[in-house]
Amino acid sequence: MCGIVGYIGDGQAVPIILESLKMLEYRGYDSAGVTIFNGSLETYKIAGRIKNLEDIIPENVNGSTGIGHTRWATHGKPETRNAHPHISSNVSVVHNGIIENYMQLKERLTGLGYEFKSDTDTEVIAHLLHFNMNCNGKKYLLDGLTETIKELEGSYAIAALCAEEPGILAFARKDSPLVIGIGNGSNYAASDVTAFLKHTKEVIYINDNEIGLLKPDSIDIFDLDGNSISRDTETIEWTLEAAEKAGYEHFMLKEIHEQPTSIQNTFAGKLSELEGTVTLDELYLERDEIKRLKRVTIIACGTSWNAGILGKYLFEKLAGLHTDVETASEFRYSNPVLCGEELTIAITQSGETADTLAAVRSSSSYGCRSIAITNVVGSTITRESDSVLYTRSGPEIGVAATKTFTAQLVALYMLAIHLGRIRGVVSANEAKDLIVGMKRLPGQIQKILNKKEMIKECAAQFADKRDCFFIGRYLNYPVALEGALKLKEISYIHAEGYAAGELKHGPLALITDETPVVAIATRGHTYEKILSNIKEVKARNATVIAVADDDDTEIDKYVDIVLRVPSSHELLAPVLSSVVLQLLSYYTALAKDCSIDKPRNLAKSVTVE
């Protein structure tokens, strides 16, 4: 959500910043802008795409220092006047986050004579920074920004320039991601490493309540009391090529096809089918602590929440642990009843989801141990949690999560088996069966991908529908939720996922011959029940598409179309079904000519509440 870029060095800032902003397009945005020091601060911004911004920047704008921004509207409509950067005389600011006390600050600054030209909360930062630098004795940019952020309530990642300090780029961070890239004779600031990965893989992650300065040859970081902070650099392991399309029409399709590899990477070196064990050395939980656990609370949003629902079934069956799944945005306000003998599991693809971070902090205040499941090394969640289980999927650019979702499922399987073996709930033989099945998943997914043309044909038949239902039971219920989410995200078809047994409690009223129903009907102990639910919707003239096992010949008697998955262990089938539904959603959106990688109104990383 939004993207910040800052550059200072010996190159031309305009092409570097524009290129970096394009690398952040996947985060979601509705306007873009830059400020370049070209003897003075020159600012260009416009609603719409970065191409629009390129068209309004004169060719003669030279300068080796600049900041840029892609905005996703929170305060104020997506209009040019609300685009960043925001200016106050000799100061320019870009900001990600939400300033909660901006109205009080705006009233105060208006009373001091400052004129506001936008509807954003960010403009108060620019005017407040100018005031703090100029109205109580002349101050340098760092001192002015330090005073400014002490007055801000809410979340922020900030990059700022001052015309009177042309060789400096200032930054600050609280509850919104910010990372520094270390180049050769140049330095970078950004919301995400993809922004500058073409130029450097050496990075420093900025923590909450830290502030600093970039110069072409130095990086200085301070706490809010002015104490210098020393921070080791980290090296990004993946390449820029991993974040490019590699010949696929869309990032989403590329990432669907990367799932055999991402799943393999997630469990590599951790599974032993000979011993029936999962080795998770990265978990800082003693065996006695695991045995004493009374409950698990899973905290997540969106797709990660759907993964958490499956995790609930796994932890209860395999580890004998009562498990609750909480929407992160509600958890922190719900007065949760927690005790010290609980485990909190936070699932977040980006590691920067604001609601999930806040929920983990709330949970930690009760003394709960925490594990983060995330895809991004060095993200904020990795520093907020006691332990981290990485999914190692590589960069995911498409807004609709695909490979990170199935990798999250694999991480949950591993964690459930690990806890279950220690707690004596799962036998070695039961664990061996699951582990053997997990190791087969990459090859089984590849078989699905090899038959994607049938899924494409199915999607073309239903792309003109207005509504669609997804139904499933037990482990297939979260698959139904995720399938519906994917379809609505990228095709804009109204789609709902239901526990199939709930059809009689209201949803059947909406079933007509114009409402296709996707039934996840892989074999398991609820198979006969889902067949009954399929008969219910067929009795209302619905067209039914079933996702079923390769060797299931019974299902053909009751449905219109069958999309096949390789037969697998009952607990593992949701991974395979999810891949089918990802492809179904993708090809439906393709048939409708939708913006698949950048669906309207959505952002990849939701870094504000």
**Tens digit of each residue's pLDDT (9 = 90 or more) over 192-221:** 888 898 899 999 999 889 999 999 999 999
Residues 438 and 476 in one domain: no
Q: Which two tokens stand for residue 32?
A: 């873009």
Which H or E run includes 211?
Answer: strand 210-215
Residues 298 and 431 in one domain: yes
Closest among 555, 489, 506 to 527, alpha carbons compared: 555
Structural domain contains residue 383: yes
The length of the chain, given as a count of residues: 609
Q: Taking the CA of residue 235 as centre, how many other CA atoms within 13 Å lie in the half-sphere pointing to its CB?
A: 1
Residues 372 and 462 in one domain: no
Q: Is 55 helix (H, G, I), strand (E, B) or coil?
A: helix
Number of domains composing the chain: 3
Q: Say how far apart CA 511 and CA 84 lie, in whole Å.
A: 46
Assign residue 520 the CATH number of its domain.
3.40.50.10490
Q: What residues of the chain score a pLDDT lower than 70?
A: 1, 26-28, 238-243, 246, 335, 337, 339-340, 508, 603-609
Q: Is 467 helix (H, G, I), strand (E, B) or coil?
A: strand
In DSSP terms, which residues pair with 361 in a beta bridge?
none
The confidence score (pLDDT) of residue 240 equals 64
Closest among 175, 150, 153 to 225, alpha carbons compared: 150
* Residue 33: C-alpha distances to residues 71, 172, 394 (Å): 9, 19, 29
Structural domain contains residue 605: no
Q: Among residues 196, 219, 236, which one ends one of the domains?
A: 236
Q: Say how far apart CA 386 and CA 364 lie, in whole Å.
A: 9
The confidence score (pLDDT) of residue 606 equals 56
Neighbours of 86 (CB within 10 A): 29
Closest among 256, 350, 395, 305 to 1, alpha carbons compared: 350
Q: Among residues 429, 445, 461, which one ends one of the domains?
A: 445
Q: Say how far apart CA 402 and CA 448 lie, in whole Å.
A: 14
Domain that holds residue 197: 3-236
The confidence score (pLDDT) of residue 607 equals 47
* Residue 44: C-alpha distances to residues 2, 81, 84, 472, 571 (Å): 17, 11, 9, 51, 54
Q: Among residues 381, 413, 445, which one ends one of the domains?
A: 445
Backbone φ, ψ for residue 37 (5° rounding): -85, 110
Structural domain contains residue 212: yes
Residues 349 and 460 in one domain: no
Closest among 13, 48, 10, 51 to 34, alpha carbons compared: 13
Q: Say how far apart CA 86 and CA 91 lie, in whole Å.
A: 8
Q: Is 338 helix (H, G, I), strand (E, B) or coil?
A: coil
Residues 187 and 281 in one domain: no
Report the catalytic residues.
2, 604
* Residue 469: C-alpha distances to residues 134, 148, 565, 593 (Å): 60, 50, 20, 22
209's torsion region: left (phi>0), alpha (psi -120 to 50) or beta?
A: left
